[in-house]
Chains A and B, each alone.
Chain A
Amino acid sequence: MAKKLIYGKPSGFFDTFDRRPGITHSTHYCPGCGHGVLHKLIAEAVADLGMLDKTIFICPVGCSVFGYYYFNMASISVPHGRAPAVATGLVRSNPDCFVISYQGDGDLGAIGFNEFIQAANRGENMAVFFVNNGVYGMTGGQLAPTTLPGQKTLTSPYGRSVENEGYPLKVCEMVAALDSPVYVERTAVTSPKNIRAARAALRKALTYMKEKKGFSLVEFLSGCPVNMKRSAKDTDEWIEKNVIPYFPVKCFKDIANERKPKQSPVGIYDKEKVKDSLLATEKIHPSDESELPVPDIKGELRIKCAGFGGQGILSLGMLIAEAGHLQNLKASWLPSYGPEMRGGTANCSVVLSREAVGSPLVKTADVVLAMNQPSIDKFSPDLRDGGILIYDSVNIKFDNPGKCNVYSLDASMIAKDVIGDVRCANSVMLGAFCEIIRSIDEKSFISSITNNFRGKEKVISMNIKAFQEGRKAVRK
């Protein structure tokens, strides 16, 4: 008999409540409170199903915040409404544990509704036990999302107005409409008959969780005699008469047998494997540029690459940075940011040095590679005296003011006519850079291209050809 079960201490409860400071022989719930009844049903079920060791009981913020006093299980009390997110963290990081997310109607239906519905929609392997008592118990009896129309609370002293607060939130109905959850049932902890159904429902939810079938929700229409200002018995009768007609007690969904148990990833922590996997994701070329002498660069070589978005400006910079890096220089690359991106130009800063790089932002440049008119107009004045300007003469008109070394080449035309793809113009520019700078070995640039386009053999050979054409173009 269910009614008998809820008196006396069930297995799954502590014999004495030693986690409770002070009073260790009774719970903190008011007489006739639905939480008290439900706690015993849960404790007994978890024990009967042999799940005490593996289950973690999550206490919400609400009257059940101290649930951990009673359950002989590991437990955690979490921020208001966030229980399903904490449960997600627990069960994702440790798929062998079972989590009960125990929540009130304020906790689940108001402040934490997003955490709740998203966990449901992900089908997390958890059981949510939702205590719908129609009020905020802990804070003294304010309106809850589930308060009935016309029902008086401290914050609806004239009764819930559907104009002002809308209609009560039908949680089970909403969750049942989602594809992921496996089991959704509404019950009531009122009459012995209803309590028997509630007991069976929560056992079913726990069993599905044990089988790793995913997300279950059981709602419990429940009494808060104190805030309903009725005796325990009258409260239960009131629920049967008023709440159940609005919130029908029934099973909305039960499809666990259609679902396979959830599989969990197995973490790899072997140190060699971890490092090898991480390095394998990087573009490491098999050749041995690091055996080449470190390029003889005095101080920092500060480079600006600029052009239209779409001309491969950022990769041009990256190819230069990586070539330096492969030959054991310190290299930094930084894409244009904020205000500099206006006006149709893309640009990036590259710094190469034998020592640690200072500012990765290039203002005063040693080298400017410009591929369109706005870029050369904007960045050529930033060249230091005696600096190097390399530009694509197809797109640019430029009068040399005479304070820097200027190299122009028909990069776009060479790419289009000789290589057959104008997108290779940046590699033509790269070739010119290699030929003019000289201190970095051509092998490093070729490796850089190979790494950058890894897996695309045709693109690699086109770009290497473009690179060689660029070198030729400035040699003449």
Chain B
Amino acid sequence: MSERNKIMLRGNDAVIYGALLAGCDCFFGYPITPANEIAHSGAALFPMLGRVFLQAESELAAINMVLGASAAGRRAITASSGLGISLKQEGISYIATMELPAVIVDIMRGGPGLGNLGPEQGDYNQVVKGGGHGNYKCIVLAPNSPQEMCSLTMKAFELADNYRTPVYVLSDALIGQMIESVLLPDPVDKKPIPDWAIAGTAEYRKNYITSIYLDYDDLERLNLKLQEKYELIRRNEQLCESYMTDDADTVIICYGIVSRIAKSAVNLLREKGHKAGLLRPMTLFPFPSTEIQRLEKKISSFLCIELSNGQMLDDIKLSMESDIPLHFYSRMGGNLPNEQDIINKYLSVHGKTNG
């Protein structure tokens, strides 16, 4: 078959395909809807390839198992949703401090509290802004299709190794549940055990990994080193998709499932002659500020659409250097805007009521 590598995959399953193609050695997770299919696929496919799958007793345990495997120099992944991510934050702070690579997938659901199983983006702050204690943050990738669930999971491993830092794949209930055509990427070469690992051989015996620095200056030095790393990431790793922005008057900014709906809305607006554009951040840290600053010179306003109380909105504000208007439209609780809602918001921004 000419398109032999093209298969229909559910977003959540695609995470596992990406992990295995990236040479991931271990999956540790704890069941939670709407991330369950990741664990189900992991349970089926990791052992099939002789890799390790273990259902942990909690998210706390799962992230610490990831910490252990990563300390051993192996590639490890865990997946959960909002409330489970909250529990992982302790471990993620340690992982960031110990400068260990790790991949964490968050399939966001409605919150706060137990919330519901609908799509939401209310985890933005706890994922993008560090989330746990201390002066750290994680790289955050934001896929909007099963294809990207696969390819950005692979990229997450690469970034985690390159920068020795935890990397999130931040998605939502709908991107996790949808099935779409995916072109399976080629597997990567198995990477060697890094020289800092505690890998249980003579060569690695000298190594130790810690996150306690009693001396204030030592700890400040570590903090400064982390900040330098984040600055490097900010300069080098911004990723976004700009759609119809060249001649746009208003550019809609959104990520995840919202960006899919907004793309349809932009197409419909364009059919009627309106100059709507779309900017989709694919990295949330680093936030694509450079593209925002490029666009704001040419357009009349931004429209941020989020399934949260405006958590990404803050990052847009921090990125903007001009004072063009920044509009905001949000749904929460598992609700979604449809194309027409977005069209209406665009039109109202332009003082019009009907397309």
Contacts and interface: CB of A to CB of B under 8 A. Distances in A.
Interface of A: 19, 21, 52-56, 59, 65-66, 68, 72-79, 82, 85-94, 96-98, 114-115, 118, 265-269, 271, 273-275, 277-279, 281-282, 284, 288, 290-291, 318, 321-322, 325, 328-335, 337-339, 357-361, 363-364
Nearest to B100: A76
Contacts of B21: 274-275, 278
B188 to A, nearest CB: 8
Given A74-B198, A85-B61, A337-B118, A325 B6 contact: yes
B57 A89 contact: no
Given A97-B200, A334-B174, A357 B50 contact: no
A265 B52 contact: yes
7 contacts: A66-B212, A76-B71, A82-B64, A267-B50, A279-B7, A321-B179, A359-B263
B186 A271 contact: yes
B290 interface: no
A89 B189 contact: no
Nearest to B189: A271
A128 to B, nearest CB: 14
Contacts of A77: 208-212
B199 A97 contact: yes
Interface string B61-76: 1101111111111101
Closest 7 CB pairs of A and B: A89-B68, A97-B200, A358-B264, A85-B64, A93-B69, A89-B65, A74-B198
B68 A335 contact: no
Contact of B23 (A269, A278, A322, A328): A269
B180 A333 contact: yes
Contact of A337 (B20, B173, B265): B173
Contact of B1 (A54, A269, A288): A288
A240 B338 CA distance: 73
Contacts of A21: 214-215, 218
Contact of A82 (B2, B48, B91, B190): B91
B187 A74 contact: no
A153 B104 CA distance: 41
Would you call the interface of chain A mostly helix, strand, loop, or mixed? mixed
Interface string B254-293: 0000001101110100000000000000000000000000
Nearest to B199: A94
A273 B187 CA distance: 10
B56 interface: yes
B261 A359 contact: yes
Given A118-B61, A275-B21, A337-B174, A90 B68 contact: yes
Contacts of A284: 1, 4, 7
Contacts of A87: 68
Contacts of A318: 8, 179
Nearest to B51: A267
Contact of B45 (A72, A281, A332): A281
B251 to A, nearest CB: 17
B212 A65 contact: yes
B181 A330 contact: yes
B64 A115 contact: yes
Contacts of B17: 278
Contacts of A335: 177
B195 interface: no
Nearest to A74: B198
B258 to A, nearest CB: 10
A267 B52 CA distance: 8
Most chain B beta-carbon contacts within 10 A, residue among A68, A282, A329: A282
A472 to B, nearest CB: 28
A214 to B, nearest CB: 15
Nearest to B198: A74
A357 B64 contact: no
A74 B204 contact: yes
Contact of B94 (A78, A93, A282, A363): A78
B72 A73 contact: no
A279 B5 CA distance: 7
Interface string B1-17: 11111111100000001
